[in-house]
Chain A
């Protein structure tokens, strides 16, 4: 069972940072994951009084406060349009509306959970994590950083022009994903992210340049490039087994979901 000795609703991020330097302290997100563990927390730090639960939109970026609920992220119309529906697709299968009203963006990102749809999706966009002490760090860097005692304040999604698509495979509608995949044409970059491998989400990379000039390709060239890249991804993405699926099955899914997301990004098929 989760045990908490002290609970403090902080008045500032500085106060949260200070309290969080103790190893047994813990910053609370939505608690939907935390409450299932057996941790002994000396001080539970609550950021919910700091107005960090909203999304601000500027000319350059979306600034998402760390305490923003997944449901708020899902129902934000501007972000929905910016991401061509991909952000909503990545969130709507996560348990239920009540759960998504509790779970926070900050909690999902800071934890860098292997099962995270949110992390998989946001890695496919020009996303930055903003810390009290460490400042702004690209999410693609943060995902592989060691845990530290810093405080995640905002998630910033820069408005780099993007075409993207998100798909996940689940054993049942509201379960964790067995595999998650996001594909994006981010400015001139092509980016493919695989999550729920079941390890932490990773950017796949394209060292052979298979998807290079994807934008300029004809549909026939795109289909060939996608087929070849799907093979590449299946060969290079490490997968593992757990109670939900075997590594072999996940590797098959990598191939299928990479193909489907890229076909959607290319505007070739929309029915998935």
Chain B
């Protein structure tokens, strides 16, 4: 089937079999940040944004992307760099395999929740599994990032 969708701001026209999974199509298009970490819709590694909403690309048919805007980490390099330094400063990532899906969901959370508490953060990110760590570093890095963003905004307003 012929489909049209936006991938990281670029209009894509391509062929996809009816049972092709979006994750596989995205990797075919060079978005290797999108990974399959489980086969049970559970790990969150394949998280991409569909019209700004975080979804599991392992569970969506490629043909269902028709007309939608898909964003992967490849399309958010600037944001990734900015937040990534906070992750690194807290020593949060170890093997790094879960990072892309985790970052995409963090970006979605920052869009959706205003001033989230630590509890809100843990609940929003519960669907992103990291098998190396205990999420403590990640949580610290998000809290520090939120504080940094708040200060930046206050400085801009002043």
Contacts and interface: CB of A to CB of B under 8 A. Distances in A.
Interface string A83-98: 0000000001101111
A5 interface: yes
Given A2-B19, A4-B18, A96 B126 contact: yes
Contact of B41 (A3, A92, A95): A95
- Measured as residues with beta carbon below 8 angstroms from the partner, the interface class of chain B is 20 to 34
A98 B39 contact: no
A188 to B, nearest CB: 36
Contacts of A101: 53-55
Nearest to B63: A7
Interface string A26-61: 001011110110000100101010000000000000
A6 interface: yes
A30 B61 contact: no
Of A7, A9, A44, most B-chain CB atoms within 10 Å = A7
A239 to B, nearest CB: 24
Nearest to A69: B53
A132 interface: no
Given A7-B1, A44-B18, A101-B54, A30 B126 contact: no
Interface residues of A, number: 29
B59 A102 contact: yes
B15 to A, nearest CB: 13
Contacts of B53: 101
A147 B47 CA distance: 33
Contacts of A98: 44, 47, 54-56, 105, 127
Nearest to A7: B18
Contacts of B59: 30-32, 35, 99, 102
Contacts of A46: 64
A99 B19 contact: no
Contact of A5 (B18, B39, B61): B18
B42 interface: yes
A224 B105 CA distance: 47
A235 interface: no
Interface of A is mostly: mixed
B60 interface: yes
A46 B124 CA distance: 28
B123 interface: yes
Interface string B90-134: 000000000000000100110000000000000111111000000
A174 interface: yes
A99 B40 contact: no
B61 A3 contact: no
A96 B128 contact: yes
B80 interface: no
A31 B39 CA distance: 13
A96 B122 CA distance: 10
Contacts of B143: none
B44 to A, nearest CB: 6
A173 interface: yes
A175 to B, nearest CB: 8
Given A7-B61, A36-B40, 13 more contacts: A5-B18, A7-B18, A31-B59, A35-B41, A36-B41, A44-B61, A96-B127, A97-B108, A98-B54, A102-B41, A174-B42, A174-B126, A174-B127
Interface of A: 2-7, 9, 28, 30-33, 35-36, 41, 44, 46, 48, 92-93, 95-99, 101-102, 173-174
A-B complex: 3 closest residue pairs judged by Cβ atoms: A96-B127, A4-B19, A7-B18
14 contacts: A9-B66, A30-B59, A44-B19, A44-B61, A46-B64, A96-B44, A96-B105, A97-B54, A97-B127, A98-B54, A98-B105, A99-B42, A99-B59, A102-B60
